[in-house]
Structure 1
Amino acid sequence: MSARLVRLVGRGFLHALLVVVALVWLVPTFGLFLTSLRTVKDNNSGGWWTVFAKPAQLTLDNYANLVKNDTILDGFVNTVLIAVPSTLLVVTIAALAAYAFAWLEFPGRDWLFLGVVGMLVVPVQIGLIPLAELFGKIGIMGSVVGVVLFHVAFGLPFAIFLLRNFFAAIPASLLEAARIDGGRDWTIFFRVILPLGLPAIASLGIFQFLWVWNDLLIALIFADRDSQPLTVALQQQTRSFGSSVDVISAGSFLSLIVPLAVFFGFQRYFVQGVLAGSVK
Structure 2
Amino acid sequence: MKSLEGVVKVVNGLPDQISILDLAAVKVPNRVTEDYIMENVVPVFKSKGNIRLATYFPTANMRITAQKSSVDLVPCLGMFGTLELQPEVNKVIDSMVERLRTLSRKSNGRFIAVDLRVEVLENKNCHGSGSVGAKSCYNAEEIALFLRKVGFNMDTTIYLTQTTWDSSLSVLKDIFPRTYTKENIMPKEKKRKFLEPEGSEFERVIDFYICSQSDLFVPAISGLFYANVAGKRIASGKPQILVPDKIPGSSAHITNYLSPYVAKKNHLVYSCFC
Structures share fold, TM-score greater than 0.5: no
Structure label with greater radius of gyration: 1
Greater relative contact order structure (CA < 8 Å, 6+ sep): 1
TM-score normalised by structure 1 residue count: 0.29
Comparing both structures, which one devotes a greater share of its residues to strand?
Answer: 2
